[in-house]
């Protein structure tokens, strides 16, 4: 029988938990034993009693969690407070650790994980293929962020979102521009439409036009003559000329826009810079930008990651932890994602790591002392070249 240890989060302001009681029940039915660190899940709204009712054992002794556990689940596996060394040091060799490792930021830690013989799965790396949809934690979190970005914008805008017929006359609806209609963008469009705003959106992948329109938004066409999509379903990086042309198209929209939700990303790279300081200056006083790409450098030149700033009368939100503000549902989604990944690997009450499986080989970072992931190996090479 494999023992799973669910660890309490240690990153500052991290309120999510990696496994919720509903998933505990599913894993126990499948033959796992589940230990939950005392207090894990509390800040996401899951009570100790619910974990116990689902069949988990609550453990307050951290050493016991590490000694008995074979598979460790944590949302944020690397954080400033405990650092990689302290996370990894006490673990037994060949432990399996699953969670967000953020290899794009912490690539040098990966070598250490391999040296210590850890088998690690980084949930950021789940490939975007249809068979892996139920494990795709990045998409789940982006969906939460897209929703919350609009709620944040609505509460910070000095206007109503919907059109209103009042005794004082008709109030026109807020105008929202969504840049990038991927997972977060489409959820932002749907949320802004539900709140009654007039929504426009655009994307470098013309294929998303139909999805944008089916949500009731207007698709602003960009003349994309270059190959816009990778085989993995992500956007390709385009030429500087293209981005200059795009900035002109965005600039034409901005004077007429109350809220910009920007979500444009090139997977694993700096986010494209699409809104310059000069463009912010043209926006109406009281307008709002929510820059979801803040952590990847921002789509707006004026964004400060992790902060809300006011520039030229425009409120610019660079929030980087929006899914964490919806800790109950984000935990529920993350928990279902990791459970689906575990179910993929379980064979006769054992964990079988099949490196021929594209989901496993795409998500695994280290195993049996080696770094296995092509993406991670490339990131390491790039980091080596820049040193």
Q: How far is the C-alpha of 174 from the C-alpha of 260, rounded, in Å?
A: 11
Catalytic residue among 23, 139, 262, 319: 139
> Minimum distance between the CB of residue 32 and ligand NAD, rounded to whole angstroms?
29
82 in catalytic set: no
Whichever of 181 and 345 has its CB closer to ligand NAD, that residue is 181
> Minimum distance between the CB of residue 264 and ligand NAD, rounded to whole angstroms?
3
Whichever of 219 and 234 has its CB closer to ligand NAD, that residue is 234
136 in catalytic set: yes
Residue 180: left if φ>0, alpha if ψ -120 to 50, beta else—which one?
Answer: left
> Minimum distance between the CB of residue 171 and ligand NAD, rounded to whole angstroms?
30
Whichever of 23 and 142 has its CB closer to ligand NAD, that residue is 142
234 in catalytic set: yes
Whichever of 105 and 381 has its CB closer to ligand NAD, that residue is 105
Whichever of 180 and 362 has its CB closer to ligand NAD, that residue is 180
133 in catalytic set: yes
> Minimum distance between the CB of residue 325 and ligand NAD, rounded to whole angstroms?
8
Whichever of 235 and 280 has its CB closer to ligand NAD, that residue is 235
Angle at which helix 137-156 crosses helix 327-345, to 10 degrees, equals 170
Tell which residue, 41, 35, 34, has the closest CA to residue 65. 35
Integer-rounded Cα Rg, in Å, for the chain is 22
> Minimum distance between the CB of residue 387 and ligand NAD, rounded to whole angstroms?
25
Q: How far is the C-alpha of 361 from the C-alpha of 341, rounded, in Å?
A: 12
Catalytic residue among 62, 234, 243, 312: 234
139 in catalytic set: yes
> Minimum distance between the CB of residue 208 and ligand NAD, rounded to whole angstroms?
6
- Point out the residue whose Cβ comes nearest to ligand NAD: 182
> Minimum distance between the CB of residue 173 and ligand NAD, rounded to whole angstroms?
23
List of residues contacting ligand NAD (CB under 6 A): 138-139, 141-142, 145, 179-185, 202-205, 208, 234-235, 246, 263-266, 271-272, 274, 292-296, 319-323
Whichever of 28 and 249 has its CB closer to ligand NAD, that residue is 249
Catalytic residue among 122, 136, 296, 327: 136
What are the Cα distances from residue 104, in Å, to 143, 324, 341, 374, 379? 20, 20, 21, 13, 7
Catalytic residue among 81, 86, 133, 382: 133
Catalytic sites, residue numbers: 128, 133, 136, 139, 234
């Amino acid at each position: 029988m494999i023992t799973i240890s669910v660890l309490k989060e240690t990153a500052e302001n991290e309120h999510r938990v990696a496994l919720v009681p509903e998933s505990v029940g599913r894993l126990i039915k499948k033959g796992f034993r589940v230990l939950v660190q005392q207090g894990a899940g509390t800040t996401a709204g899951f009570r100790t009693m619910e974990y116990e009712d689902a069949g988990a054992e609550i453990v307050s002794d951290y050493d016991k969690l590490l000694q008995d556990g074979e598979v460790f689940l944590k949302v944020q596996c690397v954080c400033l407070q405990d650092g990689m060394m302290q996370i990894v040091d006490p673990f037994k060799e060949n432990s399996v650790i699953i969670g967000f490792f953020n290899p794009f930021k912490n690539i040098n830690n990966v070598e250490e994980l391999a040296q210590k013989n850890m088998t690690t799965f980084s949930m950021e790396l789940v490939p975007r293929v249809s068979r892996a949809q139920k494990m795709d934690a990045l998409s789940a979190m982006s969906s939460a962020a897209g929703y919350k970005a609009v709620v944040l914008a609505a509460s910070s805008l000095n206007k109503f979102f919907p059109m209103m017929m009042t005794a004082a006359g008709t109030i026109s609806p807020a105008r929202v521009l969504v840049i990038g209609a991927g997972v977060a963008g489409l959820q932002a469009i749907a949320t802004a439409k539900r709140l009654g705003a007039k929504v426009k959106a655009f994307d470098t992948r013309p294929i998303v036009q139909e999805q944008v329109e089916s949500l009731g938004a207007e698709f602003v066409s960009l003349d994309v003559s270059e190959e816009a999509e990778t085989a993995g379903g992500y956007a390709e990086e385009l030429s500087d000329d293209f981005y200059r042309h795009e900035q002109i198209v965005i600039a034409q929209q901005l004077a007429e826009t109350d809220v910009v939700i920007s979500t444009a990303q090139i997977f694993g790279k700096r986010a494209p810079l699409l809104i310059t300081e000069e463009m912010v200056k043209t926006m109406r006083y009281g307008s709002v930008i929510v820059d979801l790409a803040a952590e990847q450098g921002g789509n707006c030149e004026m964004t400060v990651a992790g902060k809300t700033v006011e520039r030229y009368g425009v409120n610019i939100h660079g929030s980087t932890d929006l899914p964490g503000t919806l800790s109950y549902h984000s935990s529920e989604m993350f928990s279902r994602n990791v459970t689906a990944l575990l179910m993929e690997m379980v064979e006769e009450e054992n964990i079988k790591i099949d490196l021929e499986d594209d989901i496993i080989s795409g998500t695994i970072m280290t195993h049996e002392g080696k770094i296995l992931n092509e993406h991670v190996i490339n990131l390491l090479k790039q980091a080596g070249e820049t040193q």
